[in-house]
Amino acid sequence: MLGSLSLLSRRYLFALGFIMALLLLCAALFGYIAHKNNWPAQAHEYFSGITPACCLDRVLPKLQLQEGAETFEKIDAVRNFVFQNSMHADHDFDQTPHPYDTGGVIRALIDASDGNRHPMALMCSSRSNAMTGILDQMGYSSRQVHVFAPVSSSHTFLEVQSPEDGKWYIQDPDYNLFWMKAETGERLGLGEMLSTPLEEVLPCKAEGDCDWEYAKPIANSFGAGIYFNFNATPLIVINKDRFDLDTRLEYISPPGTITEFAERTWGKDYGEPIVSVISGGK
């Protein structure tokens, strides 16, 4: 009797081990196929293209721009529009429209502005995605950037290219901010933010309305950044005086370094991440 039970236990343990090994193999195979076929990029492209970006004729009157408005005034107005007609919250992917459905979200922003619906719950990345959808229609180039704190969290916002000087400048529709040098008032892009002493910069909601209180939750996030393009080799910029490249980020899933995060997100089709290490501006 005892021998029969022992044999049954061994068979049970063998079957359990075999099933676990099979599950691990399937997970590894799924991960390999996902990376090989660049599924993250395809998923992003699918969701953002469910409803094409639209409705610029309905958005422009809501920006309340004066005739002859300058570039920064126009772009700031778009940022304000996205911020004021959405709310920051964890994504509810069951809500309609999907948070990354560009055209659907723009319509929802308009409806919220008209008082016809509650503001959508969006995160920093989906707010940035919606802002890009509007800027594209206005003829402005933009790109998402992703910055990382050593602990706590990461954050996504945009850089928008000025057609006047060709430079890229930060626009953050999640905190409704742009950044500038405190002494000169010069607006900043990610590169300058990563290399300029933070006591020399200010987060601003509008010209003359600048205060570090506006950006306290992300004050420790300007040591490392990724230029977030799903369809190209990821570019990581690290200020070694603010951020250790080997830092294990416990808040990403699964935990790992910023390089491992980039490798998992972009897969292998675009090669190893390009890492640019700078210093200064501690």
| Distance of alpha carbon 183 from alpha carbon 197, whole angstroms | 12
Q: Number of C-alpha atoms within 13 angstroms, CB side, residue 259?
A: 13
Select from 162, 167, 110, 112 the least CA-distant residue to 134. Answer: 110
Q: Give the pLDDT score at 10.
A: 54
Q: Cβ of 77: how many Cβ atoms within 10 Å? A: 17
pTM recorded for the entire structure: 0.81
pLDDT less than 50: residues of the chain: 1-5, 18, 21-44, 46-48
Q: What are the residue boundaries of the structural domains of the chain, listed by start?
A: 1-36, 40-139, 141-282
Amino acid 193 reads M
Beta strand spans in 6-141 (E): 86-88, 120-122
User: Looking at residue 233, what is its pLDDT?
Assistant: 83
pLDDT of residue 37: 42
Q: Which residue has the tokens 């039970």?
A: 5
In DSSP terms, 198 is beta-bridged to: none
